[in-house]
Each structure stands twice: as structure tokens, then as C-alpha cells.
Amino acid sequence: MKRLGFMALLCLMVLSFVPPPAWAAQEVKPFVRGSYRQIVSARQGKPFIVNFWSLSCGYCMAELDMLKKLSRKYPKLDLVLISTDTLEEEKELVSDVMAKLSLGKADAWVFADSYTERLRFEVDKQWQGELPRTYFFDAKGKVNAISGKVEQKEVEQWLKAQYSTH
């Protein structure tokens, strides 16, 4: 019996050192009041992209796939992906989508307040909720917001401008 207990403990110890498989769900943080300010202030002086998306948005899925390709081409890309789906209902699905896209390096969030208008207003007073919504922050803090699917060529031009001198 002692030997069985020892073997079980040994197996648990070994498994704790094994990295999770690539398809394992990615950690998704709750996006609440103050989260956007936290995201932006943590990246001051650095270029980054914030993308708002939803599980039910076809253009969003295409844009996420494009961002995945660009994040591989530009490993320095700091990408923040925020799902506007609700935390209670969709956190696992959002996490699964992130894992399938293999965007493990991206910072993943999901709306965690049922009063989504308040969260959107905190991000951008002009934003009415249209998706996808992408914000390009340069190193000087200048922001360019785009509603609708962004073309890969546009994103790539922005990335080249940001990372050619960094």
C-alpha cells in the first residue's frame, strides 16, 4: 500500500513538470472597469495592438487568424485580445478559441461585466460596439482606432513602422 501511494505521488510530481499541450486552454482574464487603463499603462512607451472581438463575429475570426500569422512573422508584436462575450457564458469557449489559434503570447481578456456599455465607454467614448474594433498604439502613445476588419497590408505597414527602429 505504501508503495502504491509513493508511485501515485511520484506520478503527480512528474506530471507537474510536464508543460500543458499546445491545445490546452489559455488563461483568459476578466475584463472589468479599470482593466483597459491597466492594459494601456503597463505598455507605456511600447507599441502594441488591442483587438476587440466576439465568438459570433465572422470578420473577427478572420482578423484573429490574420493577427496570428503576423504575430509569428513579428515576434515582438505585443497583442491584447479582448472578447466582448460575457465571462459567465463564454469564458471556456473564448479560452478554447485562443488555444486553437495558438496565440499563447497574446494577452487574453473577456468582458466580465454584464453592463458592456460601461466597459466600451471606458475604452472609447465614440465606440458603439461594432466589431472587430482594433486600436493601434505607437510607442509615443498615439492611438489609431479602426472599426471593421483591418487589412493585413495595413497592419503590416504599421508593424514595420513600429518595429523597424526598435
* Domains annotated on the chain, with CATH: 23-163 (3.40.30.10)
Please write down the long-range contacts of 58-65, taking CB distance under 8 Å and 24 or more positions apart. Answer: 59/131, 59/132, 59/148, 59/149, 60/131, 60/132, 62/149, 63/132, 63/134, 63/149, 63/150, 64/97, 64/101, 64/103, 65/101
pLDDT digits (tens, 9 = 90+) for 104-115: 689 999 999 989
**Torsion sign, CA atoms 121, 111, 60, 75:** positive
pLDDT of 67 strictly over 70: yes
pLDDT digits (tens, 9 = 90+) for 86-129: 877 787 889 888 888 887 689 999 999 989 999 999 999 999 99
Which percentage of the chain shows pLDDT scores above 90?
69
List, in order, residues 6 or more apart from 106 with CB less than 8 Å away. 67, 71, 79, 80, 81, 98
pTM of the model: 0.83
pLDDT digits (tens, 9 = 90+) for 30-47: 999 999 999 999 999 999
Residues in the chain: 166
